[in-house]
Structure formats: structure tokens, C-alpha cells
Amino acid sequence: MGKLKVILEMIKFEHTIFALPFAYMGMVLAANGLPRIAEIFWITVAMVGARSFAMAINRYIDREIDARNPRTEDRAIPAGKLNNNYVLMFSAISLAIFFVATYQLAPLARLVWPAIVFPFLIYSYTKRFTWLSHVVLGVSLGLAPIAAWIAITNGLSWPVVALGAAVTLWVAGFDIIYACQDIDFDRKDKLFSIPAVFGVQKALLVTRTFHVLTVGLLFTVGVAFNLGVVYYIGVAITALLLAYENRMVKADDLSKVNMAFFTINGFISLQIFAFTGLDFAARYLIKGMA
């Protein structure tokens, strides 16, 4: 149980809330309603496996950087709570779970799974040579609704790519905010991040731009899928939450970074999925009453 607690802390299991609701959103849109129970189950298993692999391999690749950073020196590997081989074994098991899950879904999923895994592997290295690392992280999560769509439909459609782009920009934006607290360390360690390269003020402007585009893309998704007013209420709430998040963090006051990163973004993903589901429920209810 002690090891399990350390593992869950290492992979930040609670942060699954960022990507899983968008995977479910892609799944619901693909099925035009509620998918089969088996599809829901295997998509969930694939998501948990993929994300566990991504976080564990990130912790392994970044172990030396984490050990040098005062903010991260107490993470599992640098603190000696887990050894390298244990983390690599956990990563391999997580990847195997993801692999098995994809083979229970549509045939195309069995072919494209390497494209889903690739961003997980390169993300940790990108911060060593490019400030676009935030976007790579965004792509890693933005693939969730696209992968779920493929798993259901055995194909691809541009509206779900727009949803993936919305998630990508949303994640990249809040990751920039999170990176602001490491600006001094990143510069000292010659790591690349938008705050370290361009300064906090410009970094926060990039975040605002990304989040405006996120809302625009979510609106586009609604139009493309012919969603109703309930969905757009969710988009409006997302816009308000993103505006609040961006107002919370200022160049001269980073004290609310964690609240902006964890609390608000977790609620954003949950509520937009909830309002998408409610929109479908309202549509079927109206159709049943007609």
C-alpha cells in the first residue's frame, strides 16, 4: 500500500481528470450518444494506461533535473522512494495495458497507437532544446478525444481534430502558467520554456491568446456537430473560467499558480464534458416528446 501511494503520487493520478473527460467527449460525439459499455471500458483502460506511462516515463527521463530543482527534489525518484528500475517496470506495464486496450477497439486504433505514444516520449526532451515543449505537452492530451473518436468510428473527421486542437491550446496555455514558477531554475539550468525565454509578462500573453483560441475552437466544434444550447452554456462557462484563471496569475504575483493550474482546469474539463452529455440527453428527451 505504501508503494501504491508513492506510485499514485508520482503519476499524479488525480490529474487524469484533465484528459479523461475530453476522451469521453470525443467518444460521445463519435457515437452520437452513449457508446457501448465495452467501448467505454476499454477507452477508459487505454486512457489510464497511456497517462500512467506518460507520467512515469516523464519522471524517469527528468529524474536528474528534478533532483536539481528545489520544487521537485522530493519527487519519488530523486527522493529515493522509488528506484529507476521500478519506475521503468511500471512504465512498461502501463504501456502494455494501453496496448492491450487498443486491440479491443476499432482496427485503426491498432495501427495509430505509436502516434499517440510518441509525444509522451519526446515531451520531456523538448524542454532541453525548444520552448515549444508546452505545445508538445498540449498535443499529448489533445490526442485524447481524437484517439477516442478513432476507437469508436475507425476513422477520422476534422471536427474532432478541432476539438483536439482546442485541448492542445488549453493545456499548453495552463502549462505556461505553471512553468512561470520555475523561471529562475530553467534559466539557470539552461532549460527552455516560454517564461524562461520571453519573460513572465509575454508568457502570460501567450497563454491568454491560446485560451481565446481554445474557446473559438470549442464554439467551432459545437457548430460542426450541430450541438445545442446546453453545449454552448458549457462553452460560455469555460470562457468565464479561463478568463478568471488568467486574471488570477499576474507577472508580479504568482502566488495563485497552483489554484489556477489544478482547481480551475480540473473543473473546466469536467463541466464541458458534462454539458456535452446533457446536450445529447436534452436532444433525445425532446425527440422522445415529439
Query: Which CATH number do you get for residue 75?
Result: 1.10.357.140
Residue 21 lies in a domain: yes
Q: Say yes or no to pLDDT of 16 above 70.
A: no
Residue 43 lies in a domain: yes
Q: Enumerate the H helices of 127-228 as residue ranges.
A: 133-153, 158-179, 183-188, 194-198, 200-224
Structural domain boundaries enclosing 131: 2-283
Q: Say yes or no to pLDDT of 59 above 80.
A: yes
Residue 104 lies in a domain: yes
How do residues 184-241 score in pLDDT, each as one tens digit? 999 999 999 999 999 999 999 999 999 999 999 999 999 999 999 999 999 999 999 9
Which of 14-18, 171-175, 210-214 comes out lowest in average pLDDT?
14-18
Q: 130 by DSSP, 3-state: which? A: coil
Looking at the 3D structure of the chain, how many domains does it have? Answer: 1
| The residue type at 114 | P
**Cβ neighbour number for residue 249 with a 10 Å cutoff:** 24
Q: What percent of the chain has pLDDT over 70?
A: 94
Q: Give the whole-angstrom CA distance, residue 153 versus residue 249.
A: 40
Q: Say yes or no to pLDDT of 76 above 90.
A: no
Q: Say yes or no to pLDDT of 8 above 70.
A: no
Q: What percent of the chain has pLDDT over 90?
A: 75
Q: Give the whole-angstrom CA distance, residue 150 versus residue 13.
A: 24
Residue 290 lies in a domain: no
Q: What are phi and psi of 226, to 5 degrees?
A: 55, 45
Residue 150 lies in a domain: yes
Q: Give the whole-angstrom CA distance, residue 109 versus residue 111.
A: 5
Q: Say yes or no to pLDDT of 12 above 80.
A: no
How do residues 225-260 score in pLDDT, each as one tens digit? 999 999 999 999 999 999 999 998 888 887 777 777
Q: What are phi and psi of 121, to 5 degrees?
A: -75, -40
Residue 289 lies in a domain: no
